[in-house]
Amino acid sequence: MKHKLVDYFRRITPLSDEEAQALLDSMVVKTCPKGTHLLMAGQVCTEAYFILQGCVRQYYVVDGEERSNGLFTEDDWVLSIHSMMTRTPADHFLVCAEDTTVVVGTEQREQDLFRRFPRFEGISRRVMERVLAEQQERLASYVTDSPEQRYLKLSKTRPDIFQRIPQYQLASYIGVKPESLSRIRKRLATRGKPATP
């Protein structure tokens, strides 16, 4: 399973056998049961996670209600970028939505790898640019798309999510109440579009 991260890096740039082995040797793999919080609001984020298997949900608590704004699955990076970079407490939570296995990254392990293989610094920057681009795209969708458009995008790009996340959390993620999600599904069904992937 560890090789998934090596494969991820190899999709960005070729790695020598020595670099791939160094990456494997530096990995700390952790399996967390469903419901485990990787980060709580109020904590400073000190770890980044690469998901080998499972699903992590990011959410805020607003007026006592959970509002989901991130769903991460295999080959996704999960971290609180602002909290980690500014060393300030996070304002959101990261929770395992199912039993999840992750590679745990820390700044110390990253720096050790950079010292041995300076090229990893550039690769790491490219990974971070990807993560930021994905976050920006997600944010733009909340500003420019209707909930129905967000639902359709999700069903097209990540159909597996519909089997992995409860309906009320999906509704929260696309920005509606569960009853509104049911109405969206009915509307799509009457138009001949699949209500669920």
Q: Residue 37: what pLDDT?
A: 97
Q: Residue 59: what pLDDT?
A: 95
Tokens of 57: 């949900």
Tokens of 39: 């980060």
Q: Residue 45: what pLDDT?
A: 95
Q: How far apart are CA 163 and CA 36, in angstroms?
A: 20
List Cβ neighbours of 175 (8 Å cut-off, separation of 6 or more): 142, 147, 150
Helix (H, G, I), strand (E, B) or coil at 134: helix
Q: Residue 62: what pLDDT?
A: 92
Going by C-alpha positions, the residue among 97, 19, 17 that lies closest to residue 56 is 97
Q: What is the pLDDT along the chain (197 residues), one digit of tens a residue?
A: 778 999 999 998 899 999 999 999 989 999 999 999 999 999 999 999 999 999 999 999 999 999 999 999 999 999 998 999 899 999 999 999 999 999 999 989 899 999 999 999 998 899 889 888 988 988 888 889 999 999 999 989 999 999 999 999 999 999 899 999 999 988 888 876 655 55
Helix (H, G, I), strand (E, B) or coil at 93: strand
Q: Residue 193: what pLDDT?
A: 60
